[in-house]
A and B are shown apart, each in its own frame.
Chain A
Amino acid sequence: KNQVEQSPQSLIILEGKNCTLQCNYTVSPFSNLRWYKQDTGRGPVSLTIMTFSENTKSNGRYTATLDADTKQSSLHITASQLSDSASYICVVRRMDSNYQLIWGAGTKLIIKP
């Protein structure tokens, strides 16, 4: 069954600290993996997209890693800011003709001052 599991469900950290969010997937055949940020009351916004051959990709203070062999990805946030408070969603695209995306339930991150 095509699934995307994220952990932890929620996380609270102090401003300025680093954190790492995890994503495990069983989606096959794999096309790419995306991380989205969703602020409360808003639609998701793409942070990174990684294909099978990419191990790491950065977007400012966000760094995503991908291990296609173990089917795991992580999103590392460096020097967190209050504006990082959001849900972070891992999404895997299946390689098929209908552009099917499998969405994780997200990790809710709260940054406290």
Chain B
Amino acid sequence: TAGITQAPTSQILAAGRSMTLRCTQDMRHNAMYWYRQDLGLGLRLIHYSNTAGTTGKGEVPDGYSVSRANTDDFPLTLASAVPSQTSVYFCASRGFLAGGTSDEQFFGPGTRLTVL
């Protein structure tokens, strides 16, 4: 089982350009999340989706949009990138471990984005 995959691994993007970060999970989890991680700060939630067809805003949604056309895919789009969006982006899904009683968040490997 691959779990969660993200693409690309890293990207350098010119300011003003658009970009879509891809996220795919094969665990059939309903809930998915996008976080950004900046040095010295905790992960901050950008957008989330509790189930296919629905999305919601997190703590820092400005400048980002998401869609959830199906259970497996949850792409994050930057319409017009700015340098402050330089960060490491993590996609996660939420589900239960086999035999577990508490739900867990499972993370992808991250996308390192630099906006110049």
Q: Which residues of A contact B (CB under 8 A)?
A: 4, 32, 41-46, 49, 51, 89, 91, 98-106
Contacts and interface: CB of A to CB of B under 8 A. Distances in A.
B41 interface: yes
A98 B56 contact: yes
Chain B interface category by residue count: 20 to 34
Interface of B: 4, 31, 40-45, 48, 50, 56, 90, 92, 94, 102, 104-105, 107-110
Given A46-B104, A46-B105, A99-B31, A41 B42 contact: no
Q: Which one of B4, B40, B45, B105 has the highest number of Cβ atoms from chain A below 10 Å of its Cβ?
A: B105
B104 A43 contact: no
Contacts of A106: 42
Nearest to B59: A100
A89 B37 CA distance: 12
Q: Which one of B42, B107, B110 has the highest number of Cβ atoms from chain A below 10 Å of its Cβ?
A: B42
Contacts of B45: 100-101
Contacts of B31: 99
B41 A105 contact: yes
Given A4-B42, A43-B108, A99-B31, 19 more contacts: A32-B102, A41-B109, A41-B110, A42-B109, A43-B4, A43-B92, A43-B107, A43-B109, A44-B43, A44-B107, A49-B104, A89-B42, A99-B94, A100-B45, A101-B43, A101-B45, A102-B42, A103-B43, A104-B42
Nearest to B100: A49
Contacts of B43: 44, 89, 101, 103
Given A43-B90, A43-B110, A99-B31, A105 B105 contact: no
A92 to B, nearest CB: 10
Contacts of B56: 98
Contacts of B90: 43-44
Contacts of A42: 109-110
Contact of B42 (A49, A51, A100, A105): A105
Nearest to B91: A43
